[in-house]
């Protein structure tokens, strides 16, 4: 795929500046230059379009071989004063514009397959929607309902009574236990497990007795779940993943959790049982939340943090145990100074000991040499 600079200008309604520091109009000679590929700023070569999303990255454009670059509108005045061989195209969101074109330049290969492979095993009582693609070795159990335009890759297992909305994609070896419900446009990556029993046991008569988990999992619209992630069914009721939430690989969501809308969890996050989160909660990698904790809206939990108490709306927490960012940073800075503070404390202790000896009635007077 090729596209000219003029076509990019028209499409994204930008006002670029060129290497002669003049406004680049669609009729300018540079407007006919062709973009033949897209690449990151570090890897861009002749003919590539790239992007710089912040002022730090803008400095690197002076040395870039890219034919053109999306840059922030806020930097237009600064950039117009700098000599740059790359044609600069100021837009509101450089990364978004770049990604929009990237999806067109690098569309994933299509198999051409639409329909049900005869090697799939589908219960007679299951219902399959229109225009679905079901690959070999998919297993769909009794009373399952599959919406329209769903894509089920090889090895997917869908338990009895599961319900899938429209435009759902399940990658190889995804497992949905019984009664799991997925909304529209849900994507689940390879080897994720939805609806397994929660980790619930009662210690009785010298042994752990398993507690029955008779609930289900509900995943709302536009959720994406990473590879090897596990979301347990509720003991009673539902484990819920809210609309628009994005979950990375290797994340654990325990039974009866209620995850709000548009949460974002990085890899190796863990939620213990019955955690409730608000909307727009962000969790960094390897962070975790204790059971029965309530997290407010727009809370950020830093990577490797361990949350042990409820958090109100809008807070950022870090550390183990996690606390308010401002306080925890002071603690961290103090910890880094511990060796120095230890030496100071020892010196003070010696001075105090000397003063106590000088002021003691039984001590000999100290006579200084002339």
User: What are 250-284's pLDDT values in tens digits?
Assistant: 999 999 999 999 999 999 999 999 999 999 999 99
Cβ atoms of 262 and 280 within 8 Å: the answer is yes
Summarised one tens digit per residue, pLDDT across range 215-248 is: 999 999 999 999 999 999 999 999 999 999 999 9
**DSSP class per residue in 278-339:** -SS-EE-TT-EE-TT-EE-TT-EE-TT-EE-S-B-TT-EEETTTTEEHHHHHHHHHHHHTHH
Query: Is residue 365 very low, low, confident or very high in pLDDT (cuts 50, 70, 90)?
Result: low
Active site residue 292: no
The pLDDT assigned to 33 comes to: 81
Confidence check: pLDDT of 335 > 60: yes
**Tokens 């950022």, located at residue:** 316
pLDDT for residue 87:
85
pLDDT at 78: 62
39-87 pLDDT, tens digit per residue, is 999 899 988 999 988 877 887 887 888 988 898 887 666 655 455 678 8
pLDDT band at 363 (very low <50, low <70, confident <90, very high): low
Residue of 173, 189, 255, 262 marked catalytic: 255
Share of the chain above pLDDT 70, in %: 88
Highest mean pLDDT out of 32-46, 247-261, 349-363:
247-261
| Rg of the chain taking only CA atoms, in angstroms | 30
């Amino acid at each position: 795929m090729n596209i000219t600079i003029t076509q990019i200008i028209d499409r994204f309604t930008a006002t670029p500046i060129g290497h002669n520091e003049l406004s680049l109009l669609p009729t300018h000679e540079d407007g006919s230059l062709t973009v033949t590929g897209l690449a990151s700023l570090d890897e861009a070569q002749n003919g590539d379009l790239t992007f710089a999303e912040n002022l730090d990255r803008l400095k690197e454009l002076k040395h870039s071989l890219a034919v053109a670059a999306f840059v922030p509108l806020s930097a237009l005045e600064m950039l117009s004063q700098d000599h740059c061989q790359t044609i600069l195209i100021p837009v509101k969101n450089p990364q978004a514009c770049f990604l929009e074109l990237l999806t067109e330049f690098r569309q994933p290969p299509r198999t051409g397959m639409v329909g049900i492979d005869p090697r799939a095993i589908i219960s007679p009582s299951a219902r399959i929607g229109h225009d679905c693609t079901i690959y070999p070795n998919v297993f769909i159990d009794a009373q399952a309902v599959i919406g329209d335009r769903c894509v089920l890759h090889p090895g997917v297992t869908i338990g009895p009574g599961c319900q899938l909305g429209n435009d759902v994609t399940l990658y190889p070896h995804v497992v949905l236990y019984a009664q799991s419900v997925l909304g529209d446009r849900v994507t689940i990556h390879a080897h994720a497990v939805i609806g397994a029993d929660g980790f619930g046991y009662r210690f009785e008569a010298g042994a752990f007795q398993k507690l029955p988990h008779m609930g289900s999992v509900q995943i709302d619209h536009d959720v994406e779940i990473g590879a090897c992630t596990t979301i347990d069914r509720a003991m009673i009721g539902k484990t819920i993943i809210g609309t628009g939430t994005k979950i990375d690989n290797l994340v654990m969501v325990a039974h009866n959790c209620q995850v709000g809308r548009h949460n974002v969890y990085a890899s190796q996050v863990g939620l213990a049982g019955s955690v409730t989160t608000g909307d727009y909660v962000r969790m960094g990698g390897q962070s975790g939340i204790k059971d029965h904790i309530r997290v407010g809206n727009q809370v950020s939990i830093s990577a490797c943090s361990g949350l042990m108490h409820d958090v109100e709306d809008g807070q950022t927490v870090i550390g183990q145990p996690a606390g308010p960012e401002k306080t925890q940073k002071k603690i961290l800075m103090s910890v880094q100074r511990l060796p120095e503070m230890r030496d100071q404390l020892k010196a003070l202790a010696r001075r105090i000991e000397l003063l106590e000896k000088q002021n003691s009635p039984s001590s000999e007077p100290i006579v200084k040499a002339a």
